[in-house]
A and B are shown apart, each in its own frame.
Chain A
Amino acid sequence: MHQASSYEQIERRARTRERVRKTVTYVLLVLWALIVLFPFYWMILSSVKSYSAYNSEYIPKLYTLAPTIQNYIDAFTTVSLGRYFLNTLIFTVITTGLMMIVIVPAAFAFSRLDFPGKNLVFTLFLSLMMIPNELVIITNFVTITDWGMRNSYIGLILPSVTSVFYIYLLKENFEQIPDALYKAAKVDGTSDLKYLLKVMLPMTRPTIITIMILKVIECWNSYVWPRLITDDERYFLVSNGIQEIRENGFGRENIPAMMAAVVVISVPLIVLFLIFHKKIMAGVSRGGTKG
């Protein structure tokens, strides 16, 4: 009798402890989720408050009853947000496209073709991954300036069209394709180029898409190089645009309009992420790093 009740007690205690553990876990997770999401909520909220409403709230309100889209109109009319947006789009598309043209053949050569010194060349290649951007950017800045390419798309694009890391990633993937396929194609008289385009690329499509998405994110957020190479507002990308808006755009106090601009800039990547979130997260965990 006594025994049974003590078992019950132990079991109950264990269950309570488990419940407490679960609760603490969820509280912690929800808390961090709130910290992550709150800035997004705040920027959307501020962007739909009217200028006068925002500035009359000495104690900021956590909601608004009179949302307005005036700030979005301002963001596109008083500052050249549309222009920054278009520039970034052009920059992103061309850079990503060019990069694929450069890295796919290189990865193909390293994975499929045989040539003397291949291992040595590949090792040298990999060692380039250790070079920090900060070291080479100084000379690149001087080079692009000497070539008279400041304030031009080409000057923005050129230094970022290669990535040793993506060549490496792609090469690893190409090597997963069985040799037999290549030999069969050779017997059929398929050229290397045709084999690359018709067989290898379709087979490694998931990796190709992952690389492209990661590059798009990188391009969309790039700040340092565009800042160095452009001082003409007509060539600003969104990152520099937002900095320009902040420092001499609407006037320092028009925060709702700034927030509208911030929302407009953030939306494309967030939409991209919501569509491809599995791919993006898998791609990043395979070796993406920030910056």
Chain B
Amino acid sequence: MKQSKWKPWLYLLPAFIFLGIFMVYPLIDVFVYSFEEGYNSASQTFFGTGPYNYRYVLRDPYFLQAVKNTFLIVVITVPVSTGLALLISVGLNSIKPLKELFQTIYFLPYVTNTLAVGLVFMILFQKTPYTDGFVNLIIKWFGGSSIDFIDGPYWAKMFVMCFYTIWVVMPFKVLILTSALASVNPVYYNAAKVDGTSKLRIFTRITLPMISPMLFYLIITGFIGAFKAYSDEVAIFGTDLNAAGMNTIVGYVYDMLYGDSGGYPSYAAAAAIILFAIVLTITCVNLLVSRKNTTYA
């Protein structure tokens, strides 16, 4: 009997050890770091405790640039990708032939290495002395003038960034929305058809409410994901995001931790906690809004 009392804990032990060392302890530690002023990683000493790290980070122009970039990415990519995914899923659900082929194609970006494909995007958008690049070729076709999307004006870089982010996040959203749409009970549609309801009205009064839980799930995870944008940026603009003016909050955290400007875990910790606070606030707001507007059938 005594032996079996310990057995469950024995099964849990490996998971506990790993989670303890690499999740629970770091979670506490990161708050400690963020309040240790002048922490030196080499000698592991610090001057004192206080909110100085937060003040430093909040005044750092690089951080403010990163916050601006991140917010722009969030504000642009979340609505656009969700709307586009909805459009595509509705289209997918209304056809029979080729549906599976399209679904498989649309999912492809999910399984590709973002760093690798980002390089292709960079080449498609880049303008070098040797070539204007493919995208500029199309722009010129339509009579525009070529732009350097990778080293050029801020809005052009932001455009590429958002375009690539949307390309990367679409597979997940299309997949979720397609299965949500397919699971709406056809009885509702048939009833509406008998009543002669218009297609638009069917969509806004039946389809949207029925899939609203999934839609809100996608919006919430979309917000969280977009706030953590980082490797897509690296894929397009290279590791020195500050030089490109395209850094994100997560990028700022990692740059502070490691790399050419690194070695400041305290600043990194403060920035990470600020990010966490932002994400938590927005998620709570999202949840409140969704509770008011979601229909659970």
Contacts and interface: CB of A to CB of B under 8 A. Distances in A.
Interface residues of B, number: 87
A265 interface: yes
Interface in A241-276: 242-243, 246-247, 253, 255, 258-259, 261-262, 265-266, 269-270, 272-273
A273 B103 CA distance: 13
Interface residues of A, number: 89
B26 A134 contact: no
Interface string A122-148: 000100100110111111111100000
Interface in B76-110: 84, 87-88, 91-92, 94-95, 98, 102-110
Given A32-B106, A290-B169, A221 B114 contact: yes
A33 B106 contact: yes
B9 A101 contact: no
Interface of B is mostly: helix
A217 B113 CA distance: 9
Output the residue of A39, A125, A242, A272 with the most chain B CB within 10 A: A39
B282 interface: no
Nearest to A41: B120
A33 B253 CA distance: 36
A25 B110 contact: no
A270 B111 CA distance: 7
Given A113-B7, A139-B33, A141-B257, A36 B106 contact: yes
Given A132-B228, A134-B275, A281-B107, A115 B9 contact: yes
Interface stretch (A72-80, A161-169, A177-185, A199-207): A161-169
Contacts of B18: 102, 158, 161-162
Contacts of B123: 42, 46, 255, 259
Given A60-B133, A262-B117, A266-B116, A134 B11 contact: no
A135 B26 CA distance: 8
Nearest to A115: B8
A58 B27 contact: no
A10 B133 CA distance: 50
Given A132-B279, A242-B115, A228 B27 contact: no
A124 B25 CA distance: 14
A280 interface: yes
B131 interface: yes
Contact of A101 (B14, B87, B133, B231): B14
Interface stretch (B51-59, B60-68, B265-273): B265-273
Contacts of B40: none
A113 B124 CA distance: 56
Contacts of B112: 221, 266, 269-270
A156 interface: no
Interface of A is mostly: helix
A8 to B, nearest CB: 20
Contact of A134 (B25, B107, B108, B253): B253
A134 B250 contact: yes
B281 interface: no
A59 B5 CA distance: 73
Nearest to B266: A138
A90 B175 CA distance: 31
A227 B250 CA distance: 14
B297 interface: no
A239 to B, nearest CB: 4
A265 B113 CA distance: 8
A223 B114 contact: yes
Given A36-B167, A139-B25, A285-B179, A270 B108 contact: yes
B159 interface: no
Nearest to A106: B15
B132 interface: yes
A35 interface: yes
B276 A103 contact: no
Contacts of B114: 221, 223
A124 to B, nearest CB: 9
A64 to B, nearest CB: 14
Given A36-B167, A253-B130, A138 B26 contact: yes
Contact of B23 (A43, A136, A243): A136
Interface of B: 5, 7-9, 11-12, 14-15, 18-19, 21-27, 29-30, 33, 41, 84, 87-88, 91-92, 94-95, 98, 102-117, 119-121, 123-124, 128, 130-134, 137, 167-170, 172, 175-176, 179, 221, 224-225, 228, 230-231, 234, 238-239, 250, 253-254, 257-258, 265, 268-269, 272-273, 275-276, 279
11 contacts: A37-B108, A39-B121, A40-B117, A59-B137, A113-B11, A125-B19, A135-B276, A143-B21, A162-B18, A221-B114, A291-B225
Given A113-B8, A243-B234, A288-B172, 20 more contacts: A25-B94, A36-B105, A43-B117, A57-B131, A102-B15, A128-B23, A131-B23, A135-B27, A138-B253, A138-B269, A140-B22, A141-B257, A162-B22, A162-B23, A221-B115, A247-B238, A272-B111, A290-B110, A291-B225, A291-B231
